[in-house]
């Protein structure tokens, strides 16, 4: 018999918030819109309301968006004002199409954030795209070089780009805007 004791009531997980910016236009200087990602132990998810990701256009609208959320983070403070991560969709697509490696980790981070966003809104990525994204994330977790991997595995840059664009569209239709 295992004699490990289970704490009751369970220890409450501490919650934190992170400000995440997104850039889609290659001519934009910085983020064009934002969301907050809440962390509760190992679990990370964006703020949502009614299974829709809440986005906002200015960091100053973070509190308003957080207050509108209904997935367990609305009372978490402090509300971050400094950008934790920039998901540069434009640059990640450029890397996907033109680069031999993901030296700055843009593509790797974007895939990870899309994973969190899509899980939060309960969308399943089509099987073909799931395979491409999972395979690419695994590769980029080992090394930033991916061009030779694409050639060896039979994956194409076009298929990777299609998977990323599917994610952009899916996130867009499962979002709401605050502010």
pLDDT tens-digit profile of 98-151? 999 999 999 999 999 999 999 999 999 999 999 999 999 999 999 999 999 999
Q: Is residue 90 scored above 60 in pLDDT?
A: yes
**pTM of the entire predicted model:** 0.90
* pLDDT band per the 50, 70, 90 thresholds, residue 2: low
Pairing of strands 175-178, 52-56: parallel
Q: What is the pLDDT of residues 53-62, one digit of tens each?
A: 999 999 999 9
Confidence of residue 68 (pLDDT cuts 50, 70, 90): very high
Closest C-alpha among 93, 167, 161 to residue 126: 167
């Amino acid at each position: 018999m295992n004699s490990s004791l289970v704490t009751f009531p369970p220890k409450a997980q501490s919650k934190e918030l992170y400000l995440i910016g997104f850039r889609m236009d290659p001519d934009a200087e910085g983020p064009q819109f934002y969301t907050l990602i809440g962390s509760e132990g190992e679990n990370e998810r964006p703020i949502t309301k009614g299974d829709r990701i809440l986005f906002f256009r200015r960091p100053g609208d973070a509190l308003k968006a957080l207050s509108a959320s209904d997935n367990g983070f609305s009372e978490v403070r402090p509300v971050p004002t400094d950008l934790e991560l920039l998901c540069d969709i434009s640059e990640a697509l450029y890397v996907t199409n033109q680069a031999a490696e993901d030296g700055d980790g843009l593509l790797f981070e974007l895939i990870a954030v899309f994973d969190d966003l899509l899980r939060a809104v309960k969308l399943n990525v089509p099987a073909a795209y799931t395979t491409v994204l999972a395979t690419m994330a695994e590769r980029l977790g080992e090394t930033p070089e991916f061009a030779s991997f694409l050639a060896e595995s039979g994956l194409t840059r076009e298929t990777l780009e299609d998977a990323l664009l599917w994610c952009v569209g899916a996130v867009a239709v499962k979002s709401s805007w605050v502010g």
